[in-house]
Structure 1
């Protein structure tokens, strides 16, 4: 009994060490994949380009009144000199008239002269509206993609980790002693290096195709929820929180959850062919019996209620961290002063108290103590946080979601699943 207890304790310590190492491998893998995702997100939702466009408008030269005055003096001088000779004067008048027509006509004349004229440039308000939508959109894309990538990698590596552990156990006991061991669930064959590589390569689909479907949905929900939000409106932190929550609700109402399997994995012949051709693979090379069983189990996990629960928890966790960071953009609220005291009853024969001061005191007391910030002032910080979620070093957002109890529980459930992946 003592010897059995020692073996069981050693086995538990071994699997615990393997599991902990597996979680560290997950973190390193996610960090290595994030730059590929970040590059595409920042290129497709390019807030910095809009800011540069806005700065270019601000740097456009303004018409100089002095130069206009000099042109006018030059014309007057030409007219005076032309009075000496009649023929020269007539020619000068004609040239002056042509010159005046060109100056006054402006862009309309240019349009008549050049059929390939550029369209009218956008105003600053138009650009700011785009910055508003894309700032929220990019940050929310970062929240959703980092959550999904974290979950996908943890599921994949823990499936591989469980297979590797079982392979080592079988190899150790059957190779050395020849004893038969009884494993729970079904375990048919060892996991080859090629199957492992092909299985882990599935993350390519999300990093290069699936996230774009997510981008479309997030952009649409953001436009719906904040499209009418005025740039000059003053928001409290509580109202900003409500805006983010409304976008999350809109995404759920639009069926984002049902799309998660297709966002994370290639579904259907067209998507599979796209995946294989993009990675220069063939169907016979990839879809071995071992790989197919791994893929089926991965799909089962993604479509499970547990996966959905962890996904919602991860989104809420990162959003809360984002809002706590954005709290720094709001000045500390000043507590409302307490009223000086109730009004004393009037005595017959005395004058009534000064009600103007009392009304002003009540207005100050009843005013909201929440600090507010103009929307346009929040946008740069919101856009910058989206960049931090994907590229932060150290990445506190990634550390937060990876260390969550829900992610760890999902990893443990996959690592110790009764049904072996192969």
Structure 2
């Protein structure tokens, strides 16, 4: 029996060997395939978790930006309200009116006073509308405290002078607050997204770095030389960097107010407060002020520099740190030396001087001025039931015609109803009362939500896209992508940026797709579609952006690894190499000390 079995195995040993080999090879192949599938699942899961983590960090960062603006806004609003005491002028007008009425009742009024009173009787209703500023409680605390001293002026002003000052100050105050709010919103987005990017990069590098050798004990503290410090993500640098918003809140707004006041005096100066004007006329006047402040043409708007309102010059940086309490009077900072803080300030300056900053600032101003003129003034002053910027629906069967560019307060092409009812009018004094009250609403940061901040964030989706570009830009070559720009970061006049060539008259939210197809916006798609939905990244022709996160260069469409991951991978590899070199140097120093 045993011999027969041996003979059978001997006769079929080749077949048995082949069968065992096939089974073994199949088993190994199956295990290999399963391992690859498992690795692919783990990689996809880790990538999904990383993207969700990045999205969550970015969204939280934008929420922090909104709350930061609300926290800083009252400081600027308090300074502006104190510099332009509209309520004090209103009180003086009311006192002069009371004095004339007292003289009239006592029979002591002269003929000239009677004629003057008759000529100005048309403004009494407007005076009552302005008195609502006090009845509704819109009086600043600093103005109440200084009311007694403010009234004891050596030379009393006439009613005409008071009305003119009231007109100029009311408009200047609200317009300055709008510009300050827009600039503060953009500055805060830039600052917090730059720091958020560094914080995220630091966390990614720390997770990917190998654990330190626990067998050696270092008696020296090297925490300041860690990963966070290498990427400028240390507490002191962040604190000093965020402190520079002090300049806009305490100095920049004053320069801006002077520029706005000059434009308001030139445009609204000849307008009598007793004149009845239409809302379209009010929009034309407001637009004229905006053109003088921001620029009348696209080239003028692009050449307008906002940096001096937002950040101090280099020789005043220590002054800002000392005034804000970060540095004592005897301390000096190291801003003149190359450092992470210097890099942050330079990068912020480049972003502020970029054409994209001006474009988005214009869109923010569009929403804020539209909320003030087309919404608040339309409802409260012109008694309109529907805001002027809302167009009638198609079901109403009303024809729409394009509105003239010069009559739009928002610097954009809107529509109006040619068959609507006669346009209502309102006295300029009544409009001034509404605008004066809205100054407190614009500067409201203690009782959110702020209607104007909400209008900006909901109406300007490009703001989130701009923040995404800043958040996801390359750490090592952190400059906003401007096709055709020179190496110093300035745009070449002969080759304008594709993100900035859209004329402001067409820079509405409907034109956003053309703006999103630019190389710079391609970065937002890699941050989970944070700009506007989960859309595919458009192909970029002929030129690769510096911030090429998510955008494949031309001729490399078959690559599967996104540029966003390449950036982080490069950062991790370089940081690991630096750490290995530092560890080798420390080991060599320890060996030299032991041998000596």
TM-score bracket, shorter-length normalisation:
0.7 to 0.9
- Tell me the SS of whatever aligns to 2:306: helix
- Tell me the SS of whatever aligns to 1:391: coil
Match of 1:196 among 233, 238, 245: 238
Match of 2:324 among 276, 279, 282: 279
Name structure 2 gaps, 5 residues minimum: 1-39, 110-151, 214-228, 386-418, 479-570, 572-596
Judging changes above 3 Å, is the alpha-carbon distance between structure 1 residues 13 and 223 closer, same or farther for their aligned structure 2 residues? same
Q: C-alpha distance in 2, partners of 1:320/1:367? A: 20
Judging changes above 3 Å, is the alpha-carbon distance between structure 1 residues 411 and 52 closer, same or farther for their aligned structure 2 residues? same
How many Å apart are 1:266 and its aligned residue? 0.5
Q: C-alpha distance in 1, partners of 2:68/2:421? A: 47
Match of 1:263 among 309, 318, 321: 309
Matched, 1:400 2:400: no
Q: Which residue of 2 aligns with 1:165?
A: 200
Judging changes above 3 Å, is the alpha-carbon distance between structure 1 residues 259 and 305 closer, same or farther for their aligned structure 2 residues? closer
- Tell me the SS of whatever aligns to 2:423: coil
Name structure 1 gaps, 5 residues minimum: 69-116, 179-186, 334-365
- Tell me the SS of whatever aligns to 1:121: coil
Contact conserved, 2:167 with 2:432, CA < 8 A, in 1?
yes
Q: Which residue of 2 aligns with 1:339?
A: none
- Tell me the SS of whatever aligns to 2:209: helix
Please say which of residues 244-253 and 140-149 is displaced more in the overlay: 244-253
Q: C-alpha distance in 2, partners of 1:300/1:28? A: 25
- Tell me the SS of whatever aligns to 2:443: helix
- Tell me the SS of whatever aligns to 2:333: helix
Number of residue-to-residue matches in the alignment = 333
- Tell me the SS of whatever aligns to 1:284: coil
Q: C-alpha distance in 1, partners of 2:54/2:285? A: 44
Q: Provide Cα deviations, 1:374-404, integer angstroms capped at 9, x if missing partner.
A: 1112111011112211116331111221343
Q: C-alpha distance in 1, partners of 2:200/2:318? A: 33
Contact conserved, 1:47 with 1:131, CA < 8 A, in 2?
yes
Contact conserved, 2:240 with 2:321, CA < 8 A, in 1?
no
How many Å apart are 1:251 and its aligned residue? 1.2
Q: Which residue of 2 aligns with 1:19?
A: 58
Q: Which residue of 1 aligns with 2:367?
A: 317
Q: C-alpha distance in 2, partners of 1:225/1:204? A: 31
RCO comparison, higher one (Cα < 8 Å, 6+): 1
Q: Which residue of 1 aligns with 2:263?
A: 221
How many Å apart are 1:276 and its aligned residue? 3.5
Q: C-alpha distance in 2, partners of 1:258/1:283? A: 33
Q: C-alpha distance in 1, partners of 2:196/2:314? A: 28
Contact conserved, 1:198 with 1:286, CA < 8 A, in 2?
no
Judging changes above 3 Å, is the alpha-carbon distance between structure 1 residues 66 and 384 closer, same or farther for their aligned structure 2 residues? closer
Alignment of 1:14-163 (within 5 A): 14-60=53-99, 61-62=102-103, 65=106, 121-163=156-198
Judging changes above 3 Å, is the alpha-carbon distance between structure 1 residues 203 and 67 closer, same or farther for their aligned structure 2 residues? closer
Matched, 1:293 2:293: no
TM-score normalised by the chain length of structure 2: 0.52
- Tell me the SS of whatever aligns to 2:426: strand
Q: C-alpha distance in 2, partners of 1:7/1:66? A: 89
How many Å apart are 1:410 and its aligned residue? 1.0
Contact conserved, 2:295 with 2:304, CA < 8 A, in 1?
no
Q: C-alpha distance in 1, partners of 2:344/2:200? A: 16
Q: C-alpha distance in 2, partners of 1:66/1:377? A: 31
Judging changes above 3 Å, is the alpha-carbon distance between structure 1 residues 367 and 18 closer, same or farther for their aligned structure 2 residues? closer
Matched, 1:245 2:284: no
Matched, 1:327 2:378: yes
Match of 2:428 among 338, 358, 375: 375
Contact conserved, 2:294 with 2:304, CA < 8 A, in 1?
no
Judging changes above 3 Å, is the alpha-carbon distance between structure 1 residues 331 and 276 closer, same or farther for their aligned structure 2 residues? closer
Q: Which residue of 2 aligns with 1:205?
A: 247
Q: Which residue of 2 aligns with 1:5?
A: 44
Contact conserved, 2:364 with 2:456, CA < 8 A, in 1?
yes
Contact conserved, 1:150 with 1:402, CA < 8 A, in 2?
no
Q: C-alpha distance in 2, partners of 1:399/1:384? A: 18
Q: C-alpha distance in 1, partners of 2:347/2:89? A: 44
Q: Provide Cα deviations, 1:56-102, integer angstroms capped at 9, x if missing partner.
A: 2122242775899xxxxxxxxxxxxxxxxxxxxxxxxxxxxxxxxxx
Judging changes above 3 Å, is the alpha-carbon distance between structure 1 residues 273 and 167 closer, same or farther for their aligned structure 2 residues? closer
How many Å apart are 1:3 and its aligned residue? 1.7
Contact conserved, 1:310 with 1:407, CA < 8 A, in 2?
yes
Contact conserved, 2:244 with 2:321, CA < 8 A, in 1?
no
Superposed CA RMSD:
2.8
Alignment of 1:336-347 (within 5 A): none
- Tell me the SS of whatever aligns to 2:49: helix
Q: C-alpha distance in 1, partners of 2:450/2:155? A: 42
Contact conserved, 1:23 with 1:154, CA < 8 A, in 2?
yes
How many Å apart are 1:268 and its aligned residue? 4.0
